[in-house]
Chains A and B, each alone.
Chain A
């Protein structure tokens, strides 16, 4: 997958609004592999909706979204499973970790279907993010900031052409945010992937190739 193309896309609930000023809704937008994007928005502008559309969770929009030449509204569940294992990764704002599993199990449950990272690499990431001591703690007993880091490690445990980050550092301090940024950038560069990050205020402290406002 080389590009994600949005053709005149708008959430259905915004369709009747005439006062939309956006770089994305009702525009043609192309996200290219290998580049980094920041999507800035005030809350309520449809930032999480955009991520849900791109990840195939929701389809309540007008217009069309293409992965290369393929309209994603025609993908079936199995096709989405393949894309979510091999081409598109996401760090959900709400994280979607399994609270009853430990941090390591949450990562392994992803890695066991993609088999993309070694246990050593995963262990190193836990170390770098400062949560090595939480590996075997159930996620339910971890803070939001710690959970966010577990969710990132999980998101990196697969090959991807694009990484979607929905408010990736909303619960992190600057120091940890920078560690996370370095990890994301080095992994994205290693495999030549694009990064699409959203933010309603604080964002990953880095040079974006393009900044769009919703």
Chain B
């Protein structure tokens, strides 16, 4: 192999190969960065939530001024409306939010100062909540209530309230590890409990407790009053289904958390990433074109040597091997460098992204690496094919 290489490396143009290397590297870095940015941002736009899956929408009715003034709750869903929602083709299942019919008073003692507030609870059927089932259970004996808090409540506290009041800021980790005092009252009873934060949610703007606890507490402190359903959680097959928006508009319902906005941004993101990836692909294709021309030139200049090697009994495959190895090692070097480049680029932008898009995930890097590997394998296969075919032609020459 060393001897053949010594023979065949003649006429290799370092300039052309460097040109190919840099151009294909640029193309690959652009393609892989595009894919990586897409993978990083896309989950935050489609509102993926650690606690609640992607394929849910939360539906409510607008509060009408007159109704609220005369004390009548107009923003409630009737049983027929719920049944109608369930019957829609895009609906997989419908769950009702249950509200607390009793008083809730929470107190957090931070050592120096204590914070206390009146509040409320809501709950949805447990199957919509993606928390460890052991964590999401209420046992009247233990007196501990697991709670899911909206992430923006924590932000409100940390950046607004805590700073104004000189209270310590709390991270999610700290909050999950401490418990606070909760007092429930109603129906001539008053009991103390411990509250424990089981998780944070981006999508549900309410304080959630387990359904089992809600039923138990409503019975105990509100003597089983009629509960009002003012919001629905609807599991849908495809959140992008156009019939959903049409149905909601027709009935005057509102869907929370602006999923239509994020789908517009998602579309823009896809468009921009497609353009970026296309630019990278064009650069890479031109680079491969340069390499192909360079290889043709090289093989043409070395035709006599290749012929003689074949006449000595070398198989065309063996003669092609050094050139295939050369292009393969160039391409593998490109792959490695571009993956490193993506890592570095990601380090730079992910710090900024973390502030712009809460909850950016770190998953997806493996997909980028896989995409890079597949691209490089395709390029290597293409190069090898061209080299082998050209050498076959030379060896058949009569």
Contacts and interface: CB of A to CB of B under 8 A. Distances in A.
Given A96-B311, A113-B312, A57 B7 contact: no
Contact of B316 (A77, A112, A158): A77
Given A100-B10, A109-B4, A113-B312, 18 more contacts: A57-B311, A77-B395, A77-B396, A78-B315, A78-B316, A81-B315, A81-B316, A84-B311, A92-B311, A96-B311, A98-B7, A98-B305, A101-B3, A105-B6, A109-B7, A110-B313, A113-B318, A154-B312
Interface in B1-44: 3-4, 6-7, 10
A149 interface: no
B3 A109 contact: yes
B247 interface: no
A85 B313 contact: yes
B392 interface: yes
Interface in A74-116: 77-78, 80-82, 84-85, 90, 92, 96, 98, 100-101, 105, 108-110, 112-114
Contacts of B308: 96, 98
Interface of A: 55, 57-60, 77-78, 80-82, 84-85, 90, 92, 96, 98, 100-101, 105, 108-110, 112-114, 154, 158
Interface residues of B, number: 20
Contacts of A108: 3
A114 B315 CA distance: 12
Contacts, number: 56
A177 B312 CA distance: 24
Interface string B66-99: 0000000000000000000000000000000000
B314 interface: yes
5 contacts: A78-B316, A81-B314, A101-B6, A110-B313, A113-B314
B396 A158 contact: no
Determine the main DSSP class of B at the interface with A: helix
Contact of A77 (B6, B7, B315): B315
Contacts of A110: 312-313
**Smallest CB-CB A-B distances: 7 pairs:** A85-B313, A84-B313, A81-B315, A96-B308, A109-B3, A77-B395, A59-B398
A110 B311 CA distance: 10
Contacts of A85: 313
Contacts of A81: 310, 313-316
A55 B6 CA distance: 26
Nearest to A83: B313
B310 A77 contact: yes
Nearest to A78: B315
B310 A112 contact: no
A77 to B, nearest CB: 5
Given A77-B392, A85-B313, A96-B308, A57 B4 contact: no
Nearest to B319: A81
Nearest to B6: A101
Nearest to B396: A77
B110 to A, nearest CB: 80
Nearest to A88: B313
Interface in B184-213: none
Contacts of B310: 77, 80-81
Contacts of A82: 313
A98 B314 CA distance: 14
A109 B4 CA distance: 7
